[in-house]
Structure 1
Amino acid sequence: MLLRLVPMLIVFGALNFYVGWHGDLLLSSLWPAFPRAVYWILFAVIAFSYLLGRMLIGDGSGIAAAPGRLLKVVGSYYFAVFELGFLLVVLADIAALVAYLCGADMSAFVPAAGGIVVLALLVLLAWGSRNAWSPVARTYDIEVAKKAGDLKTLKIAVVSDIHLGNTVGNRHLDRLLPQVNEWRPDLILLAGDVIDDSIEPFVRRSMADRLARLEAEYGTFAVLGNHEYYGGHIEEYVERMREIGIPVLRDETVTVAGGVQIAGRKDKTAEAADPEGRLPVRELTASFDRTRPIVVLDHQPYGYDLAAEAGADILISGHTHRGQFAPNHWITRRLFELDWGYLRKGSMHAFVSSGFGTWGPPIRLASRSETMRITVHFKEETA
């Protein structure tokens, strides 16, 4: 991990120097007397504030925890400022080259271009913040050609990637509860990354009390995401969820409503981070009756062919955030067979949610915080 981290930090530092240098140029043109050393110290602290914050937080009990949490939040926002700022600065440099070749007055160009970049960045951040904090409900109607006892329809509410922590907290959960409960779902599925990494803010701010208010006739079930593994408090998290009546399925199965079979997979991270690994999906569903509906809950949207071969009628995932903010969605579109929305693969219905919360900055561009409302109609095939 250290061998991978060092090159990443070097690249991150170099790209930040590129962005910071442009900020220095703009500041020099607008406020020549401002000390350059002060600017670069402040810039370096902000650029690496997420990493510094995580180091200071520790287990959340020390005297440095409070400033650490502040730095982590600042650093979360900075990720969006950095990426969007980098792209805007590149465009500004291209414009500067064209202006220079055309003989423009470059002393006037710098503050003008800098002002446009800053204004564009503020607009993108404001719009992205609105998309992150104003979740929508996506609705889907599907048909599964199987019988589920006497059940004709099943309303499934899907929530993924809440990322509860220092940035996303109880206020955002207060947006979740009415959006889910007012629809009156029969079943609620939490598709991983309920917490961001550390369980400390989840406990300190009693977020489980909010999750306990989710209401569904056949219950609420969750699976682990990669961020629960990153935090390293899985057993405590699973126990706290159990206490509020939300089982976390770790390569476990359950049958609800007299015939709907649910398989909850460990996250793909378990293949490296869990000494027991995780079961292949075909082994997890081996005991299921294939004449009855099978729902597979798997945080990361991989292995669609294997899930279909294992008998899954519905596969539900999250993880991708659809890139969270543009142009990252161009990358996720190529990394995953389905990075957001709905896909029919043979008789299997696959869903990937862009997530209700956010990782890092609460900014979304070309994506939106969401819940999914899936209405399943059961209709047994006739010969």
Structure 2
Amino acid sequence: MKVQPRFIVLVSLLLTVYAAINFYIGWHITEWSAAVGLGYSPYGFWIPFALIAYGFVLGRIPLPDPLRPIGRLLKVAGSIYIFVMEIGLLLFLLADAVRLALWLTTGVSNGYIVVSGSVVLGLIAVLLLVGSRNAWSPVIRSHELQIDKFADGGPTEWTIAVASDIHLGNLVGRKHLHRLVERMNAMEPDLILLPGDVIDDSIEPYLRNRMGEVLGRLQAKHGVYAVLGNHEYYGGHIDRYAEEMKSLGIRVLQDETVEIDGKLYVAGRKDKTVEASGPDGRLAVRELLQAADLRKPVVLMDHQPTQFAKAAEAGADVLLSGHTHRGQFWPNHLFTRRLFELDWGYMRKDAMHVVVSSGFGSWGPPIRLGSRSEIIRLKLVLRE
């Protein structure tokens, strides 16, 4: 495949900007270290700093079996550093704005470097602790949705437990998964739905750590269903993943609609990622629901929160999505809010209810600020 010059220029620009940001942060750390009297070796600082700064990428390089733990450690350290880099950049820029104002008026003393550096590094440490708590302490958010359709002899209320973006991998593992299973099963749900990104790219850590033993304990009266997210596609193990889920009794819907006990439909779309392969990558919502009896409730899962109007027109009563993580940590939610019609929470689109979850797990750093690890509890209420 021929690489376009524009692509080379773009990648080079991004790498340059990334290197500049990290040099800026590293320089501030070394300046503060010198100001407080902490000695350091340039090589002893910059080499480990560079390994951590680029760890998220370096950790993805295939390594021989004996060296794989090193790769995983680099990826974990690099993941956490993504948060440190973003917050550190914002805080150091703010400190430098004050520094510039002082320099233009009274001058900058060594004391300011000590105080500002200490405040910034202290804030980063505090935000790491708070963000980690938010990521590992899930909350349950409840929504009662009135569906203007008759129960048709079935239950007038359905309890549905929903968890999107679990991201099982090297960072989110069995311990956090135990929390999910425990809380979902405690709801005694009629259905459990997983709207994509159950695994985080590679299926290898999921298999190595036998996470299926835990995930398979999910229990719902009418079964557990999932759809694919963009990260399942990124990992390239779709068939293996679907088989693993099937062995647990979890059905992965890939442009499929299933009827539940003759009373309700659950439909699952392939992720929007497949549209890159052409317009026939996945079914349109109208095609997906054409076999459903629209006199009965229809719950649609589509990982990325897009095409709300088309889903409403096709007859879906409830649309469940995730993907956005609500930006995961501040100030990223300012961008997700602009990118999506709804990046988190609930809205009504014509007669259709839309619920977008901020997700249960995390991508990259296991940090959340301005968002929480969450499980959704839906109560569908039908007409008698």
Q: TM-score, normalised by structure 2?
A: 0.95
Single out whichever of 21-30 and 359-368 deviates more from structure 2. Answer: 21-30
* Equivalences for residues 81-92 of structure 1 within 5 A: 81-92=84-95
Deviations 1:217-275 (A, max 9, x none): 00000000000011111110000000000010000110103221111000000112589
Match of 2:281 in 1: 277
Deviations 1:271-296 (A, max 9, x none): 12589611111111111111111111
Match of 2:165 in 1: 161
Q: What is the distance in 2 between the residues matched to 1:72 and 1:34?
A: 25
Amino acid at match of 1:132: A
Q: What is the distance in 2 between the residues matched to 1:43 and 1:168?
A: 24
1:32–1:70 distance in 2 versus 1, CA, 3 Å: closer
Q: What is the distance in 1 between the residues matched to 2:38 and 2:241?
A: 52
Q: What is the distance in 2 between the residues matched to 1:268 and 1:148?
A: 32
Q: What is the distance in 2 between the residues matched to 1:275 and 1:306?
A: 16
1:306–1:207 distance in 2 versus 1, CA, 3 Å: same
2:102 pairs with 1:99? yes
Aligned partner (choices 140, 145, 168) of residue 143 of structure 2: 140
Matched positions, count:
377
Aligned partner (choices 112, 115, 119) of residue 115 of structure 2: 112
Single out whichever of 365-374 and 250-259 deviates more from structure 2. Answer: 250-259
Quote how far apart the aligned CAs of 1:83 are.
0.5
Aligned partner (choices 341, 344, 350) of residue 337 of structure 1: 341
Match of 2:47 in 1: 41
Poorly superposed stretches of 4+, deviation over 6 Å: none
2:65 pairs with 1:62? yes
1:209–1:275 distance in 2 versus 1, CA, 3 Å: farther
What SS is found at the alignment partner of 2:292? coil
Quote how far apart the aligned CAs of 1:10 are.
2.4
Q: What is the distance in 2 between the residues matched to 1:45 and 1:210?
A: 34
Match of 1:367 in 2: 371
Quote how far apart the aligned CAs of 1:26 are.
1.1
Q: What is the distance in 2 between the residues matched to 1:76 and 1:32?
A: 27
1:228–1:259 distance in 2 versus 1, CA, 3 Å: same
Q: What is the distance in 2 between the residues matched to 1:21 and 1:164?
A: 35
Give yes or no for contact 2:33–2:39 (8 Å, CA) kept in 1: no
Quote how far apart the aligned CAs of 1:375 are.
0.1
Q: What is the distance in 2 between the residues matched to 1:159 and 1:5?
A: 35
Deviations 1:89-120 (A, max 9, x none): 01110111122223144211111110000111
Deviations 1:118-141 (A, max 9, x none): 111111111000000000000111
Single out whichever of 342-351 and 91-100 deviates more from structure 2. Answer: 91-100
Amino acid at match of 1:87: L
Amino acid at match of 1:91: L
Amino acid at match of 1:71: L
What SS is found at the alignment partner of 1:213? coil
CA RMSD of superposed structures (Å): 1.6
Q: What is the distance in 1 between the residues matched to 2:250 and 2:16?
A: 42
Amino acid at match of 1:145: D
Deviations 1:154-202 (A, max 9, x none): 0010000000000000000111111101110100000100000110000
Aligned partner (choices 212, 215, 221) of residue 216 of structure 2: 212
Match of 1:237 in 2: 241
Give yes or no for contact 1:50–1:75 (8 Å, CA) kept in 2: yes
Aligned partner (choices 268, 271, 291) of residue 267 of structure 1: 271
2:307 pairs with 1:303? yes
Deviations 1:32-83 (A, max 9, x none): 64222332212111100111111145xxx62221100110000110001100
Amino acid at match of 1:318: G
Amino acid at match of 2:41: P
2:344 pairs with 1:346? no
Match of 1:328 in 2: 332
Aligned partner (choices 293, 313, 321) of residue 289 of structure 1: 293
Match of 1:355 in 2: 359
Quote how far apart the aligned CAs of 1:28 are.
2.1
Amino acid at match of 2:247: E
Give yes or no for contact 1:56–1:64 (8 Å, CA) kept in 2: no
Amino acid at match of 1:198: S
Match of 2:203 in 1: 199
Match of 1:20 in 2: 26
What SS is found at the alignment partner of 1:55? coil
Q: What is the distance in 2 between the residues matched to 1:105 and 1:329?
A: 35
Match of 1:252 in 2: 256
Aligned partner (choices 185, 188, 193) of residue 189 of structure 2: 185
Q: What is the distance in 1 between the residues matched to 2:121 and 2:166?
A: 30
Q: What is the distance in 2 between the residues matched to 1:364 and 1:76?
A: 13
Give yes or no for contact 2:99–2:108 (8 Å, CA) kept in 1: no
Amino acid at match of 1:211: L
Quote how far apart the aligned CAs of 1:5 are.
4.0
Q: What is the distance in 2 between the residues matched to 1:111 and 1:56?
A: 42
5+ long unaligned stretches in structure 1: none
5+ long unaligned stretches in structure 2: none
Amino acid at match of 2:218: L
What SS is found at the alignment partner of 1:188? strand
Percent of residue pairs bearing the same amino acid type: 52
Match of 1:131 in 2: 134
